Structure 1
Amino acid sequence: MLYTPIQFRNIELKNRWVMSPMCMYSCENGLANDFHFVHYGSRSQGGTGLIVVEATGVEPRGRITNHCMGIWNDQQAEELQKIVEFVHSRSESKIGIQLAHAGRKGSTWNNLQISLEEGWETVAPSAIPYHPAERIPHVLTVTEIKEQVQNFKNAAKRAVKAGFDVIEIHGAHGYLIHQFLSPLSNIRTDEYGGSFENRIRFLIEIVDAVNEELDENTALFVRISGTEYAENGWNINDSAELSKILKEHSVDLIDVSSGGNIHGAKIAVFDGYQVPFSSQIKKQANVKTGAVGLITKAEQAEDILQKGDADLIFIAREILRNPYIAVQGSFETKEDCFFPHQYTRAKISS
């Protein structure tokens, strides 16, 4: 199954390997540069079915650090388009982008909040900082929430124009959308807080707005944290219910990660530790899912797919170590996988 194609709308991925979005902290003014061209271009030469560009801010305050990527203006989109065009012309990989807003977890460096002079005032659903020592974030008004929805819509429009095959909305890891989802970070009393239906409203409005910019030639994924590992917080049953609703709103796949919203949460980390969340959501919500979390070998990835725990395999650190993991896995099992014709002499053919 690992080397079996899969389709989302009109987008066909040649295999189930996905390069997970990972921040590179290497931009100035949100602009992609030569590093990003080489970084993403080299992964496309490794046979990966889909490459997802790192968390990309939909407005300046949406970045995690002041060296994170952005797509709030046309120049940023034009630089990203160069990467998209290379991937499309020189490989069989598809390429996506993760649209994000860091919310209260923005304006940081090395996981520490930086000064207002170097950074910016963060925003959040409620006046609760991520860490008690951090500044209290600005509470978004309803009008400002609507503006953020529009920011995601505008970013999606630019991403489509740049040629991306997949748009992923980042609703995980304690960033702004996740902050709205969780009853621990969202204590609002208006239509965006309180009940489950109210807390998911911001994400659903973003999904609907983004879908207005998409057609059958661009797929829509949403990344969520399956659980935040905290008592009375967002949990796997919430995630399954949300995923049912997202499917009704034309979301093609749920990318299932976990954690990130509650400082100091205790998380047991081991190979494939987040796969059970993907499995439960896939089965309960009857939706396509992506599994992520210390998946490092082709055999492990194949086992996840064969058990029906996920439809795509998102890998992060391992593809930083080895950009050719997909094609190397195909050598071992004699599966068909893209390999640059320039490198044919290195292909194992026994």
Structure 2
Amino acid sequence: MNPATMNPATMNPAKSQLTLGRNGRPQRTLRNRLVSSPMERNYGTPDGRMTAQYADYLTTRARAGLAVVTTEATYVRPDGKGRTHQLGLHDDAVVPGLRALTDAVHAAGALAAVEINHGGRTAQSAVTGLPNVAPSPVPCEIAGGEMPRELTTAQCHELAEAFAAAARRAVAAGFDVISIHGGHGYLVHQFMSPRTNLRTDKFGAREAFPNLVIDAVRAAVPGALVGMRLSMVEGCEGGLDADQTLDVVGRLHLEALDFLDLSAGSYEAGEWIVQSGEWKPGVLADYARPYRRFGLPLGLAGRLNSPEAIARVLGEGVCDFVSLGRAVHADPGFVRGVLDGADYRPCIACNVCIDNLGLGQVTCTVNPAVGRSRIPMPTRTVRSRVLAVGAGPAGLTAARELALAGARVILLDAAPDLGGQFRLAAGMRSTPDFHRFLDWSRSELKRLGVELRLGAVVDLGDFAQLARDEDADGIILATGGTLPGPGFRASGRGADDGVMDVRSWLADRPGLQGGEGLPEAVTIWGADSVAMSVADTLASLGTRVLLVGPEPVLAPESGRRAKILAVPRLEADPKVTIRLDSRIVEADATRVRLVGPNGEQWLDAPGPILVSRSVEPLSASVDPEGREAALSVKAGVPVVLAGTIVEQLPATASNAIKSGHDSAQRLAAQLASSVPAPDAHLEEALA
């Protein structure tokens, strides 16, 4: 093996080349130490083939400078498929599409890698149409709870051969690197774990099936680079801890492997697979250090979301390459940020990407161009003067997109700082990385010459005058919506303990995390994601919280990973009382009256009542396009509405940013064509 050592002449360890290949097998040289992780995306076809959208996505990241571009966990047999549009290596028919991908990746200067996998107990017949199989009949409740069939000894050998056949197809398709998925609670990992392997035959030994797979794959592809992805800690009760995992790995046929790619977690401990923003960057580094004893090049995943974090783990010799998922999903430009110090769009660790995996295509909160069932199309070039009103996520995105397209943009907001409600979210315990998007947006507006006017009150009642005052050729309206009232009457409460919108309350307390201005107790009316975050943050700072909401669960508009830490904390905190499926119907000076599953009751509720209920969408009878046309006639220039309330979407940052991007494209298209002459009948829509 060529030792995985850094070039001492290279100041940036990520820029150093790395040669993989050992025991006399062919070697490959990586142009740097940055590898994309096998992040699932649901961009394939229902029968597991590559698509133009997915190929464009991966090739774009190869062109950005990654050393290795990796497809997602790719199933080796149909009964191991975990997602409706997951890639497969189960049939020769998938090879031509994958060959086109690897040719494009090679042309961009990168190596092509594929991770081969079988879901085992996590695969569900609702997706595969086939019974699921596993080492032992232990269902995976998180995945759907289907009871798997226990594999016979002969069937274990058949499955190992399915891995080998998939590896042969991968080489035929031009892949340089094959990684066996031995972590995250999938089939190989299930054989390694005492939670899921209850067998008494030879495959009851934790290393037996993984070794069978390693040997079969190596024999099938003797000239390829072969490695294994591992979970260094399973993360849940009864699972493998760090020492137990090291013991099992020490019994694997490591001489047949060229590298180990180190991660963590399982389905029952998803917070270890895709970490929350609360966890420190490089969180898995200490778990990885003992793996040096095995003498293999090591890859490392886990919150490596900044050049500084990557330089640290590489420079300290914790690993030889880094596996990047969310960071290069949010922006392929992150690669140049690491290698050359270029600016990049930051991942904010919101985990919308992983939560979308069970719903459809994986999108990104901060990058509206990815995962929307199409190859991203550029915004039409415009040379116009554009006014954007509202500097929340939608307005920031629209202003940047139009400026990139060539427009001269003025961005107005009545607040003293940009960000809108997103700025408040950046101060919450569970979303500490949100400020990175605002910092980047501010930098981008400056770079692109966008004129930012804060503290500017705009009269939206006279669009024509607004357009004339600013000499605007078009207007983006991204002011969001209005929150509904509390829906109950309150008596006996003063200014300090009255009923108020939680967002206004937070805006008046910029020192919240420092403990400034905190009441001893609060009542939060609403159980949406805002309520969850505020309750979690206040409780962590010592405030007693009564949370009442009509929702059946906490934060129903958020995915599981977005609340995987906050919800259990709230439910276990003795300072927090939660009443769901309930309504506040009345409040006096120190109490609230609820109506819920247990009937009517009064609860003590000293301190302020903070209203946090999602923005109500427009009536279904309102036609946003009709409103835009009518406003355009009134203004004499094209007016485009942005924001989730307009498009009748849940009021999330992800939807707001996508809305801002799309509204910019709509306005650019209108400005690139002639403005239609005023049509009198459209005036009626303004009434």
**TM exceeding 0.5:** yes
Matched, 1:202 2:214: no
The equivalent residue for 2:18 is: 6
Letter in 1 for 2:325: A
Task: Map 1:1-350 to 2 at 5 A.
Answer: 1-9=13-21, 10-27=27-44, 28-89=46-107, 91-107=108-124, 115=126, 119-131=129-141, 134-193=145-204, 198-216=205-223, 218-246=224-252, 248-262=254-268, 269=276, 270=279, 271-282=281-292, 284-332=293-341
| SS of match in other structure, 2:202 | coil
Unaligned runs of 5+ in 2: 1-12, 22-26, 343-687
CA distance in structure 1 between the aligned counterparts of 2:270 and 2:73, rounded to whole angstroms: 23
CA distance in structure 2 between the aligned counterparts of 1:307 and 1:264, rounded to whole angstroms: 28
How far is the alpha carbon of 1:279 from its aligned partner?
1.9
TM-aligned CA distance change 1:211 to 1:264, over 3 Å: closer
| SS of match in other structure, 1:147 | helix
Determine if contact 2:235/2:266 at 8 Å carries over to the other structure: no
How far is the alpha carbon of 1:2 from its aligned partner?
0.8
TM-aligned CA distance change 1:278 to 1:134, over 3 Å: same
How far is the alpha carbon of 1:98 from its aligned partner?
0.2
How far is the alpha carbon of 1:263 from its aligned partner?
5.8
The equivalent residue for 1:110 is: none
Deviation digits for residues 44-103 of structure 1, max 9, x if unmatched? 0110011111010001111112321101111112211110011112x2211100000001
Letter in 1 for 2:298: T
| SS of match in other structure, 2:155 | helix
User: Which protein has the larger Cα radius of gyration, Structure 1 or Structure 2?
Assistant: 2
CA distance in structure 1 between the aligned counterparts of 2:303 and 2:154, rounded to whole angstroms: 40
**Higher mean Cα deviation, 28-37 or 132-141?**
132-141
CA distance in structure 2 between the aligned counterparts of 1:77 and 1:98, rounded to whole angstroms: 15
TM-aligned CA distance change 1:84 to 1:144, over 3 Å: same
Letter in 2 for 1:206: V
How far is the alpha carbon of 1:36 from its aligned partner?
1.3
Unaligned runs of 5+ in 1: 108-113, 334-350
The equivalent residue for 2:640 is: none
Determine if contact 1:51/1:93 at 8 Å carries over to the other structure: yes
TM-aligned CA distance change 1:55 to 1:46, over 3 Å: same
CA distance in structure 2 between the aligned counterparts of 1:247 and 1:13, rounded to whole angstroms: 24
Determine if contact 2:207/2:251 at 8 Å carries over to the other structure: no
Relative to the length of structure 1, the TM-score reads: 0.86
| Higher RCO (CA-CA < 8 Å; seq separation 6+) | 1
| SS of match in other structure, 1:223 | strand
Determine if contact 2:14/2:338 at 8 Å carries over to the other structure: no
How far is the alpha carbon of 1:239 from its aligned partner?
2.8
Letter in 2 for 1:38: D
Relative to the length of structure 2, the TM-score reads: 0.45
**Higher mean Cα deviation, 266-275 or 21-30?**
266-275
| SS of match in other structure, 1:150 | helix
Determine if contact 1:125/1:179 at 8 Å carries over to the other structure: yes
How far is the alpha carbon of 1:322 from its aligned partner?
1.0
Determine if contact 1:96/1:164 at 8 Å carries over to the other structure: yes
TM-aligned CA distance change 1:245 to 1:188, over 3 Å: closer
How far is the alpha carbon of 1:245 from its aligned partner?
4.0
How far is the alpha carbon of 1:250 from its aligned partner?
1.9
TM-aligned CA distance change 1:137 to 1:95, over 3 Å: same
Identity fraction in percent: 28
How far is the alpha carbon of 1:200 from its aligned partner?
1.2
| SS of match in other structure, 2:43 | coil
Deviation digits for residues 260-292 of structure 1, max 9, x if unmatched? 14368889851222222222222x333221110
CA distance in structure 1 between the aligned counterparts of 2:106 and 2:126, rounded to whole angstroms: 41
Point out 4+ residue stretches in structure 1 off by more than 6 angstroms.
264-268
